[in-house]
A and B are shown apart, each in its own frame.
Chain A
Amino acid sequence: MRHTALGVRLLVLITFAAFFIVPVVWLVLAPTKSDGALVSHSPLSFGSFHQVWLAWKHLDAFSDHIYRRWILNSLFYALTATAITVAVGVPAGYGLALGNFPGRKVILTLTLVAMIMPGAALVLPIFLELDALHLIGSVFSVILPFSFFPFGVYLAYIYYATALPKDLLDASRVDGCSEWQTFQRIALPLAKPVVALVFFFSFVADWNNFFLPLTVLADSKQYPIQVGLSDLLSSTPSFNPAQGGGGQTVNIFRPELALATLLAVVPVAIVFLLSQRSLVRGMLGGAVKQ
């Protein structure tokens, strides 16, 4: 009886694993096949590396190497914004957790609310705001809003509130540290786990953000990769038969699109894998502490 129960359980788990993984596997294998092969051969078969190279050539050729620009844009936006987020958010979390000043609770509540409230509803007002400041079209229209990451501040807040005993700060004050020295010599060195966490979440959120860049960027050369993918999509003849005319051969077929998608995911996947350990521990730690 126990064995059938175990068997059923395993079956269900494996079925779902297939659900989650097979599309990813398909995505990895798709660029190795030609468009025709995608249709006729088995979906999970391996084609050739040569095909991947071809697909890349087509992809790269699209619109004057714009794909490379998109990737670089995404890296630029995500890294810059994340740098600002960490530099601003970690001290803010520290100040909110261990400080004592009027308005502390208000700021904390506002941060919590902003964190839980999905940002999509604010994209249009932010657009208008940035427009009034004549920032539309500059990279700052993306980087600055990205840098506001209340979840990062919250993570730092939780971390410092639970992992840094107040005694430690008292000790450093008695030992002669000014407030800044206390932060720099005690709080900051101990913040490595939360810096990694904030970096990860901020980077992924910035990398995956679609709505904001779509709204504030007009020039497709400034697009991050997510918005670029949608551009690419509308250029794929199999999805858009109207394309491919006008004297210019656009060789964006399904393998190219798949490759584009796959490459768009690689940076995040790398960050994912690198932070897997500290991530799960930190997320559980932060989550569990509540």
Chain B
Amino acid sequence: MAARVRGLRVPRGLPFVLPYLPFLIAFGIAPTIYALDLAFTNVGGGWVGFHNFVRTYHDYRFVPAFKHILLYTTVWLAALVVLVVGLVLLLHGRVGRTASTFRFLYYIPGALAGAASVLVWLFMLDPVVSPGSFILHHVFGATLFAQAIAPARLPYVFAMIAFWTGAGGWIVVMYGALNTIPPDLEEAARIDGAGPFTIAFRLKLPLIRKWIAYMVILSFATGTQLFVEPQLVNQASLGLVPDTWSPNQLAYQLAFRYADFNAAAAIAADLLLIGLVAAAVIVTWTGLFRTDD
């Protein structure tokens, strides 16, 4: 129902949303459209169809960049699913108050997102100073920093950094989701003779499926847009690791080193598409919308 202001009908709620709209348009909608526009045109503004996409695809750095990112994302998602879920299930047993202590400890690295976390790990991966030098020496055979960040190892290194900063937050979310399971269910299962493993895998795990799906989809979309970590490693390794390791880096270089904004936009559009698909999947399939009436 509309509120009437001296006969003039003002749709209820709209005035509160109005100040937000310029931001939504300026930094959400307009850039998306602009990116798409650039991706399909050339420097002069003329329509070139998929030319930019084809062109960038054939760039010798394109496929490797996407390969890197795919490997990185896969490893990261696997670690997330297995380790986050595993840790949460372990925590949600009868560990009681200690559970919140562990959760807090796991959460701390989350404060070091961005460049800071990479810097920390640059030290951690340097066998000369790292507290984990034992592991680096004997498990990975690395005695020098350069070995630790050998190109073949990079996707795993980045995945580990991403896991280190991100796992804590997801553990908290999953833990909360597990808390919504009525304790009666668990008791009934126990009376029925289920041991802790059965309860974990057959009762709890299926009930947090939705959250695991969220986590995977969100992380997949974020993972493909990796920039900070490879950028810093590029600097720390003195160029040993190229500055076009990830697609976003490539786009950045195309834009600012080669001033080829159309090519950069094409790559941005590729990444946008991935992100949009992920967003669409979440919004429609998992019913984030259900809170809406």
On A, residues with C-beta under 8 Å from B are 5, 9-10, 12-13, 16-17, 19-24, 26-27, 30, 38-39, 43-44, 87-89, 91-92, 94-96, 98-102, 104-105, 107-114, 116-118, 120-122, 124-129, 144-145, 147-148, 150, 153, 158, 161-162, 178-180, 183, 204, 207-211, 215, 226-227, 229-230, 233-234, 239-242, 254, 257-258, 261, 264-265, 268-269, 272, 276, 280, 283-284, 287-290
A268 engages B111 (CB within 8 Å): yes
B16 engages A116 (CB within 8 Å): no
**CB under 8 Å from chain A, chain B span 68-94:** 83, 87, 90-91, 93
CA distance A229 to B232 in the complex (A): 9
* B65 beta carbon closer than 8 Å to chain A: no
A110 engages B28 (CB within 8 Å): yes
A161 engages B123 (CB within 8 Å): no
Which residues of chain B come closer than 8 Å to A13, judged between CB atoms? 87, 90-91, 95, 102
A118 engages B225 (CB within 8 Å): yes
B116 engages A230 (CB within 8 Å): no
Contact with A along B94-135 (1 / 0, CB 8 A): 010000001011101111111110011111100011111100
Q: A24-B108, A148-B26, A226-B114 are in contact. Are A125 and B279 (CB under 8 A)?
A: no
Q: A107-B24, A125-B38 are in contact. Are A118 and B122 (CB under 8 A)?
A: no
Q: A100-B11, A124-B251 are in contact. Are A129 and B114 (CB under 8 A)?
A: no
Q: Kindly list the 9 A-B residue pairs having the minimum CB-CB distance in the complex, ordered from nearest.
A: A99-B13, A101-B11, A95-B16, A284-B176, A43-B131, A92-B20, A125-B31, A208-B114, A148-B27
Which residues of chain B come closer than 8 Å to A109, judged between CB atoms? 283, 289
B248 engages A114 (CB within 8 Å): no
A129 engages B30 (CB within 8 Å): yes
CA distance A265 to B211 in the complex (A): 29
Which residues of chain B come closer than 8 Å to A100, judged between CB atoms? 1-2, 11-13
Pick from A94, A179, A209, A264 the residue with the most CB of B within 10 Å.
A179
B34 engages A226 (CB within 8 Å): no
A121 engages B176 (CB within 8 Å): no
A210 engages B228 (CB within 8 Å): yes
Which residues of chain A come closer than 8 Å to B236, judged between CB atoms? 233, 239
A258 engages B123 (CB within 8 Å): yes
Which residues of chain A come closer than 8 Å to B19, judged between CB atoms? 87-88, 91-92
Q: Which A residue sits closest to B167, measured CB to CB?
A: A20
A21 engages B108 (CB within 8 Å): yes
Q: A116-B275, A210-B227, A226-B116 are in contact. Are A24 and B109 (CB under 8 A)?
A: yes
A101 engages B12 (CB within 8 Å): yes
On B, residues with C-beta under 8 Å from A are 1-3, 10-17, 19-21, 23-24, 26-32, 34-35, 38, 83, 87, 90-91, 93, 95, 102, 104-106, 108-116, 119-124, 128-133, 164, 167-168, 172-173, 175-177, 179-180, 196, 211, 217-218, 221-222, 224-225, 227-228, 231-232, 235-236, 238, 248, 251-252, 255-256, 261, 264-265, 268-269, 271-272, 275-276, 278-280, 282-283, 288-293
Q: Which B residue sits closest to A43, measured CB to CB?
A: B131
Q: A9-B90, A23-B120, A234-B235 are in contact. Are A112 and B112 (CB under 8 A)?
A: no
Number of A-B contacts (CB under 8 A): 296
Q: Which A residue sits closest to B17, measured CB to CB?
A: A95
Which residues of chain B come closer than 8 Å to A122, judged between CB atoms? 27-28, 31-32, 35, 268, 272
A107 engages B264 (CB within 8 Å): no
Q: Which A residue sits closest to B83, measured CB to CB?
A: A16
A118 engages B228 (CB within 8 Å): no
B265 engages A98 (CB within 8 Å): no
B105 engages A21 (CB within 8 Å): yes
| Min C-beta distance of B14 to chain A, whole Å | 4
A120 engages B291 (CB within 8 Å): no
CA distance A164 to B105 in the complex (A): 34
Which residues of chain B come closer than 8 Å to A150, judged between CB atoms? 24, 28
A17 engages B268 (CB within 8 Å): no
Q: Which A residue sits closest to B20, measured CB to CB?
A: A92
Pick from B129, B256, B271 the residue with the most CB of A within 10 Å.
B129
Q: A117-B276, A118-B225 are in contact. Are A265 and B112 (CB under 8 A)?
A: yes
Q: Which B residue sits closest to A166, measured CB to CB?
A: B293
CA distance A27 to B164 in the complex (A): 15
Q: A13-B91, A20-B108 are in contact. Are A121 and B15 (CB under 8 A)?
A: no
Q: Which A residue sits closest to B27, measured CB to CB?
A: A148
- Contacting residue for A129 out of B34, B173, B238, B269, CB 8 A: B34
A229 engages B116 (CB within 8 Å): yes
Q: Which A residue sits closest to B278, measured CB to CB?
A: A116
A114 engages B24 (CB within 8 Å): yes
Q: Which A residue sits closest to B291, measured CB to CB?
A: A161
Which residues of chain A come closer than 8 Å to B2, judged between CB atoms? 100
CA distance A120 to B227 in the complex (A): 8
Which residues of chain A come closer than 8 Å to B238, judged between CB atoms? 239-242
B114 engages A254 (CB within 8 Å): no
| Min C-beta distance of B22 to chain A, whole Å | 9
- Contacting residue for B221 out of A116, A208, A254, A261, CB 8 A: A116
Which residues of chain B come closer than 8 Å to A227, judged between CB atoms? 115
CA distance A124 to B120 in the complex (A): 28
CA distance A229 to B118 in the complex (A): 10
B176 engages A287 (CB within 8 Å): yes
